[in-house]
Amino acid sequence: MKIVCVGSTVFDMTYVVEDSLKEDSKTRSKDYVECGGGNGANYAYSLAFWGNNVELYSLIGYDLYGKLLLDEFDMVGINKSGIEIRKGFPTPKSVIISNLSNSTRTIVTTTREIVRKLNAEICNDADILLLDGTYIETARELINSNKKATIVFDIEKNDPEIIELAKSSNYIICSKDFAESFTNMDLSNKDNIESCYDVISDSFPNSKVIITLGKDGSITKEEDYLITDTIDANTVDTTGSGDIFHAAFVHFLVNGYNLKDSIKYSTVAAGLSTEKVGCRNKIPTLEEVLNYDDVI
């Protein structure tokens, strides 16, 4: 089973502090982690870490940070055929401040040019496509070249072109921010959640829709609405946890789990990941996920 992931690759530098930063002051970091990040790379790394056959389509620079990221991909056996290494393009970097006092994170990222198409040969043997709307022309080519593939689309941006492309998906996983922007509904009011779900589901009639709601879990629908609560995690850093949710959903889906259990174990994987700082080092093992005691 071949899984193709499309999305950004970033080099993350995470500083852990015990309180909010003050301007024009110096703060000592309690901890520091540097590793790869970015939606697409997090999908691919997680899936490869769990033993899947993964190919990544992404863009990095011909520089030190790009080399470090490629070394990470080699550690878990990611197929790098779809990665473009572009001279003169600085590998994207992010500085992340993880605040232990309130479990929030603040991200400052380098400005990146919008790249619609990668200079990479398009494969035609994908069984699963996991897309996030980045490199949209490449995503469109992959969809057109892999007619039999199951498509899972992670939607974060309320962008008409992304929405139109996502309508060909089998599964839509969208964030709370997207859901609120798309429907103009406030999901902090829980009475709106089911109505919001219906609006989005009606807009993607060919897709099974899942809305992730942050600390409130997620919602989908089979015969009835299915709301999955988050786990009781000792959260220190949420960076990359949403990406781990998406990767876990694909992993359990391709390994024969039904929708309810795929979401359940994805929720566990994402929740466990918040208990560590960074991205790559926080991915739980399948044993940790499947043996988690507080089964939802």
CB atoms within 10 A of CB 124: 13
Note whether 226 and 201 are within 8 A (CB): no
Among candidate residues 38, 16, 41, the one with its CA nearest the CA of residue 27? 16
Among candidate residues 46, 12, 8, 9, the one with its CA nearest the CA of residue 246? 46
Phi-psi category of 248—alpha, beta or left, where left has phi over 0 and alpha has psi -120 to 50? Answer: alpha
Tens of pLDDT, residue by residue over 255-289, are 999 999 999 999 999 999 999 988 888 999 999 99
Alpha carbon 285 to chain centroid distance? 17
Tens of pLDDT, residue by residue over 65-98, are 999 999 999 999 999 999 999 999 999 999 988 8
DSSP E strands, the chain: 2-6, 10-17, 31-37, 53-61, 79-86, 93-99, 104-109, 128-131, 150-155, 171-174, 208-212, 218-221, 225-228
Tens of pLDDT, residue by residue over 160-210, are 999 999 999 999 999 999 999 999 999 999 999 999 999 999 999 999 999
- What are the structural domain ranges in the chain? 2-16+32-286
Per-residue pLDDT at 296 exceeds 60: no
On whether the 2-16+32-286 domain is CATH 3.40.50.620, my answer is no
- Note every long-range contact of 258-262, with CB atoms under 8 Å and residues 24 or more positions apart, other chains counting: 259/208, 259/220, 259/222, 259/226, 260/222, 260/226, 260/228
- The mean pLDDT value of the chain amounts to 93
CA distance 99 to 179: 26
CA distance 85 to 274: 31
pTM of the model: 0.94
**pLDDT at residue number 111:** 67
Per-residue pLDDT at 294 exceeds 90: no
Tens of pLDDT, residue by residue over 15-34, are 988 888 888 888 888 888 99
Note whether 169 and 207 are within 8 A (CB): yes
**pLDDT at residue number 218:** 95
**Residue 174, CA distances (Å) to 36, 49, 134, 209, 294 in order:** 23, 24, 15, 8, 25
Per-residue pLDDT at 295 exceeds 80: no
